[in-house]
Amino acid sequence: MKNRILLVLFLLSTTFSLRGGEGMWLPQLLKALNEGEMQTMGMKLTAEQIYSVNQGSLKDAIVHFGGFCTSEVISDQGLLLTNHHCGYGQIQSHTSLEKNYIKNGFWAKNLQEELANPGLFARFIVRIDDVTEAMLAGVSDKMGTKERQSQIDKNMAALKVNTKLGAFEELMIRPFYHGNQYFSFTTVTYNDVRLVGAPPEMIGKFGADTDNWEWPRHTGDFALFRIYAGPNNEPAEYNENNKPYNPKHFLPISLDGVEEGDFTLIFGFPGRTNQYLPGVAVKQLVETVNPARIAIRDAALKILDAEMRKDEKTKIQYASKFARIANYWKKWIGENQGLIATNALDKKANLEKEFEAVLNSSLTMKSKYGDILPKFESLYNELEPYVLSRNYYNEIMGRNIEAMRIVGYMRRLISAHEKNGKTGYDKFKERLSGPIESFYKNYNPKIDQQVFSTLTKMYGNADGAKEIAASMQNYLMGNGIRDYEQLAQKVFANSMILDKNKVLQTINQSPEDAIKKIKGDPLFKFASEINSTYQDKIAGRYTEINSEINDLQRRYMEGLIEAFPDKRFWPDANSTMRVTYGKVQGYQPRDGITYNPLTTLDGVIAKYKPGDYEFDVPKKLLQLNALRDYGDYATADGKMPVCFLGSNHTTGGNSGSPAIDANGNLVGLNFDRVWEGTMSDINYDPSICRNIMVDARYILFIIDKYAGAGHLVKEMKLVHPRTDMSGNKSSKKKLNKPVPAKQPGINPKSKRQKAISKDGMPTKEQKVVPYNGGGR
Ligand code: ARG
Ligand code: ASP
C-alpha cells in the first residue's frame, strides 16, 4: 500500500502538465518527477547537480537557519546569506542606543569583529531516504488512531537506533502526504554562527509593514552570517579559536540578473502548507479562525504602534516584536481575501463532488473512502469551539501578553522541581538566565498592562468560545473585580514578574521559598486559573478531535491520489528541504492592472519620505543614486535592480532561500510573497501567487558600494553566465572565474570531517530562539 503513492507519482511524471509554479518538491525525487519539466522550462542543470549524496551538489549549500528560515553558503569561508528579517533577532540582540545596528547597520571589517549568537544554528542535510516501509511495518488499516501511532512511534525509535550515522550526524524522520509516506533526513548542525553584516533597516526593512506582503517592493532584505567550525571543519560550540567553515559546495553569484520569463528555482525549508484540506476546514478558517486572530492582533498592534511612535527606546525594544505580530496579522487578512477572491470554497466543493463521483463509480473505492467527507463535516463542526478557544488562548495568553512568557518559565521551573528536586530546579534555573536577561532588555510593563487589559476583555467576550470566556468572567467575579482595566491594574501593581531583579531574587532563594513566592504572585495565580480551565476543558478534547482529523486527512490524501491518477500531488510543506521552481513573472492583481516583475532603485527614491519610520532612505544611498555610482552591479541599461517577482511556490520558512538561475548560480534572495497570493498555503493559484526576491546585484551593490565592505564580495564567486554562454565576453571588469554551466560552484577544496568522537555533539537541550521579524 505505502509504495503505491510513490508508484503513482512515478507514472505521473510523464504526464505532467507543463505549467510549473505549484508544488514544493523533494530534492531527491526531482530526477523521477520534475527534471524533464524543469529542463523544458529552461533549466540547464541535471537533477543530480541539485541533489546528490555522492558528490557536492546545490543542496550542500542550503542551510536551515535556526530552524525558522533558510540561508545559503556563498563562499568557501562559510559565508551565509539570509534575510535581514531572519537575522533581525540577532541584529537586535547586539543593538543598543549607543551601538544601534538596527538603525545604522553593522559590518564586520574582519573575522575578529564578527559577532557570536548563542542559540543560533545552521543545519545541513546530508542525505534523504525513503523509510516508509520501516515506519509502517506492522501497521494495518484496521488499527485505531492511537494503536497506529504507537506502532509508528515504536518503528521510529527502532529506526533511529538501527541507522548507522557518521560523526556529528543526526537522524530526523518526518511524515509526508499526511502520513502515507516517510522520509528520513540525515543532518549535521553547526552551532557557532556569527553575524557578519547587515544593512541599516532603512534598506533591510525599507517599506517595513506598509510594504510587507506587497508588490511593487523595494526592500534590501538581506544579512550576512558565517558558520564557524572546529579544527577539523567539524561542528563545534562557540569558541574563539573556531575557524570559518569550509563547505562542500557554495553558490556562485550571477552578475547578469534576470529577465521576465527566466527559469528560477527556490531551494529551502518551507514551513507549513495545507493544500489538501476539505472545504469544511477552509470555511472554518475563513469565517471563524482567521477573523478571531486578526482581531486580537489588531488590538495588540494598535497599542504597540502608539507607544513606539512616542519614543526611540520603545521603538528599538518593540520593533522586532511588532514586526513579528504584524506579519501574520497582515498575512491572514490577505489570505482571507485571496481565498474569497479565488473562490476557494467553490473549488473545494467541486473537487469533493468529483471525488464522490469516483467513489460512486467503484464499490471498492466507496467502501474504502466513502466515510471520509461526512466524517470531516462532523469532526470540524465538533472542533469549532475548541479550535476557536485554542486560538484565543494561544494568541492572548501564549503570545500577546508578554509577561506570560515569564509565567511560563516559572511554571516550568516548578515542574522541574517536582520532577527532579533541587537538582532539576537548579539546572532549569541556569538555563533561564539568558532568556530572562533578553526578555527584560525589551520589556515595558506599562505597555504590557494596556495589552493585558484590552486582550483579557476580548477573551472574556470571546464569541463562540463560551467556556474560556466564562473562565475569564468567573475570575473577575470570584475576585470582586469590576472590569478588565481594574483587573490589569490589580495584577500589574502587585506582581514581581514585571521586574527582572525581583524575579531573579525570587528564583535565587531556596526552591521551596521561591515556589511559595511564585505561587502567591497575582499574575501567576491569574494565569494558572485561566490555564487550568483551558487545560481541563479545551486542550484535551482539541487534541483528541484533531488527531481523528489527522487520521482522516491521511486517508483522504490516499483517496485523492487513488481517485485522480492523473492529477499531480506534492506533499504539503513540513519544514523539510524542498525545491520549487517557476519563472520570473508579473501578474494582474486586479482588473486593468498589470504588475511588472522587476523594480529598481528609482522606485526606492519615488517612495522616499525623509524622516519617515518606514520610508526614509540613508544619505549615502541617495548620493550613490544621484551619481549613478552603481559599480559593476547595474543592468545593461544603467539601472540599479532591487527586487523581482517569480511564480515559485513558497511559504514561511522559505525566507532567505536562494533564487537560483538555470545554471545553478544565485540570482536573488527570496523573502516574501504578494498579498493577493498569500492563500497559496491553502489554495495555490498560478494566476496570482508570486514570490518576491531581492536581486543579487542589489545585495552586492549595498555590500560593496554602500557599506564599503568589498572584502566580503572578494570572498564570493561572481559569474557572468549569460554573457559567457552567448560567447560575448563581458566588457565589465573580470571578476572571479565564471562557473561552467555543468559544474556549478563545486568546491574542490572541501574536506568533509570524518571520524570524530561523538562527545562533541551539539546538545539537544532546547534552544531559546530569539524573535525574528518573520514567523507567525
Ligand atoms: N512577510 C515576510 C515573511 O513572512 C517578511 C516579514 C518580515 N517583515 C516585516 N515587516 N514583518 O515572513
Ligand atoms: N516571509 C516569509 C518567511 O519569512 C516567506 C513567505 O511567507 O513567503 O519565511
Ligand 1 center from residue 673 Cα (angstroms): 9
Where in 237-394 does DSSP place strands (E)? Answer: 243-244, 253-254, 263-268
85 labelled catalytic = yes
Beta bridge partners of 69: 65
Sequence-separated (6 or more) residues with CB below 8 Å from residue 153: none
* Joined grid coordinates for residue 180: 502515507
- The answer on pLDDT for 764 being more than 50 is no
Any ligand 2 atom below 6 A from CB of 324:
no
Ligand 2 center from residue 774 Cα (angstroms): 7
Residues 617 and 201: their CA atoms lie apart, in Å, by 9
Q: What is the pLDDT of residue 725?
A: 58
The number of angstroms, rounded, from the C-alpha of 205 to the middle of its chain's C-alpha atoms is: 17
Ligand 2 binding pocket mutation candidate from 24, 71, 670, 671 (most atoms within 8 A of CB): 671
655 labelled catalytic = yes
DSSP secondary structure code for residue 631 in this structure? G
Ligand 2 binding pocket mutation candidate from 672, 678, 689 (most atoms within 8 A of CB): 672
DSSP secondary structure code for residue 739 in this structure? P
Residues 164 and 174: their CA atoms lie apart, in Å, by 18
Question: Higher pLDDT residue, 3 or 720?
Answer: 720
231-249 pLDDT, tens digit each = 999 999 999 999 999 999 9
* Joined grid coordinates for residue 41: 522550462
Q: Looking at 209, 211, 221, 672, which residue is catalytic?
A: 221
Any ligand 2 atom below 6 A from CB of 654:
yes
* Joined grid coordinates for residue 52: 546528490
DSSP secondary structure code for residue 725 in this structure? H
The region, left, alpha or beta by phi > 0 then psi within -120 to 50, assigned to residue 63 is beta
The C-alpha R_g of the chain, in whole angstroms, comes to: 26
731-743 pLDDT, tens digit each = 333 333 334 333 3
- The answer on pLDDT for 88 being more than 70 is yes
Nearest to 588 by CA among 676, 680, 692: 676
Q: Alpha carbon of 189 to those of 121, 342, 654, 759: distances in Å?
A: 7, 41, 19, 14
Sequence-separated (6 or more) residues with CB below 8 Å from residue 671: 83, 85, 219, 221, 655, 656, 692, 693, 694
Residues 154 and 85: their CA atoms lie apart, in Å, by 39
Q: What is the pLDDT of residue 284?
A: 98
Closest residue to atom 5 of ligand 2, CA basis: 652
Ligand 2 center from residue 776 Cα (angstroms): 10
Any ligand 2 atom below 6 A from CB of 650:
yes
Ligand 1 binding pocket mutation candidate from 85, 330, 650 (most atoms within 8 A of CB): 85
DSSP secondary structure code for residue 677 in this structure? G
**Interval 265-278 mean pLDDT:** 98
Q: What is the pLDDT of residue 254?
A: 98
Q: Looking at 57, 75, 471, 655, which residue is catalytic?
A: 655
Cis upstream peptide for 686 (omega within 30°):
no
Spatial contact of 248 and 744, defined as CB atoms under 8 Å apart: no
Q: How confident is the model at residue 756 (pLDDT cuts 50, 70, 90)?
A: very low
Q: Looking at 85, 417, 649, 720, which residue is catalytic?
A: 85
Q: What is the pLDDT of residue 312?
A: 86
Ligand 1 center from residue 298 Cα (angstroms): 16
Sequence-separated (6 or more) residues with CB below 8 Å from residue 338: 344, 675, 676, 677, 678, 679, 683, 685, 688
Q: How confident is the model at residue 564 (pLDDT cuts 50, 70, 90)?
A: very high
13-47 pLDDT, tens digit each = 433 444 558 999 999 999 999 999 999 999 999 99
End-to-end, the C-alpha distance of the chain in Å comes to: 36
Residues 386 and 373: their CA atoms lie apart, in Å, by 20
Q: How confident is the model at residue 767 (pLDDT cuts 50, 70, 90)?
A: very low
Residues 189 and 179: their CA atoms lie apart, in Å, by 26
384-395 pLDDT, tens digit each = 999 999 999 999
- The answer on pLDDT for 762 being more than 60 is no
Position in ligand 1 atom list of the atom nearest CA 672: 2
Any ligand 2 atom below 6 A from CB of 71:
no
